[in-house]
């Protein structure tokens, strides 16, 4: 699924349409109309513009210009369960919060498991309601969490500095957001 992962702005995202429709976090894509250069793992870059944002669900869609026949990530047909394997593909920042070089490479893959859920899967996702333990760093916001079958099950957005637990926007919030914005997607 790595070819469907993208870098945009200071974060990450995942492509859902052959013509280029990137799902990312609202705190990455900022506001409707914001523009970005979106980088694919093969080195191609396309201009993108934010077309939908939901701050409560921390989700956004960025439409690409001039893209065609891009690889897409399917959305899982069901929500993940505690203990399920996940692979996260994202963009760890090249600098620490203090400005020191990290040496981390783009399109980093880490693996882990779903560790639990907070109540109300459609509630405020500022601290994502899906808990996972795959390694993430600054810049991983918007990184897709894939199941063992290669389907999108959540979208990384935060971590809890008290517990060290990583958090992601729920599968339920993703499906709700995509359907609310009539965004076509494939499922697996």
The CATH 2.40.10.120 portion of the chain extends over 2-72+175-180
- Show pLDDT as tens, one digit a residue, over the chain (188 residues): 889 999 998 899 999 999 999 999 999 999 999 999 999 999 999 999 999 999 999 999 999 999 999 999 999 999 999 999 999 999 888 888 888 998 888 899 999 999 999 999 999 999 999 999 999 988 899 999 999 999 999 999 999 888 889 999 999 999 999 999 999 899 99
pTM of the model: 0.95
The CATH 2.40.10.10 portion of the chain extends over 85-172
Q: What is the CATH T-level fold of the domain 2-72+175-180, as seen in this structure?
A: Thrombin, subunit H (2.40.10)
Question: What count of other Cβ atoms lies within 10 Å of the Cβ of residue 65?
Answer: 12
Q: What is the CATH T-level fold of the domain 85-172, as seen in this structure?
A: Thrombin, subunit H (2.40.10)
What spatial distance separates the first Cα and last Cα of the chain, rounded to whole Å? 13
- 69 bridge partner residues: none
């Amino acid at each position: 699924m790595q070819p469907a992962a993208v870098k945009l702005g200071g974060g990450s995202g995942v492509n859902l349409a052959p013509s280029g429709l990137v799902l990312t976090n609202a705190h990455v894509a900022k506001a409707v109309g914001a523009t970005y250069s979106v980088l694919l793992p093969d080195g191609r870059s396309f201009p993108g513009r934010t077309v939908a944002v939901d701050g409560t669900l921390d989700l956004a869609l960025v439409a690409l210009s001039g893209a065609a026949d891009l690889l897409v990530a399917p959305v899982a047909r069901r929500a993940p369960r505690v203990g399920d394997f996940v692979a996260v593909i994202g963009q760890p920042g090249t600098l620490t919060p203090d400005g020191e070089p990290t040496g981390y490479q783009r399109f980093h893959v880490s693996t882990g498991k779903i560790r639990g859920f907070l109540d109300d899967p459609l509630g405020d996702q500022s601290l994502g309601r899906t808990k996972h333990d795959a390694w993430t760093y600054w810049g991983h916001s918007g990184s897709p969490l894939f199941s063992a079958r290669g389907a999108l099950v959540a979208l990384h957005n935060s971590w809890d500095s008290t517990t060290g637990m990583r958090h992601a926007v729920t599968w339920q919030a993703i499906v709700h957001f995509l359907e609310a914005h009539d965004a076509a997607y494939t499922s697996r």
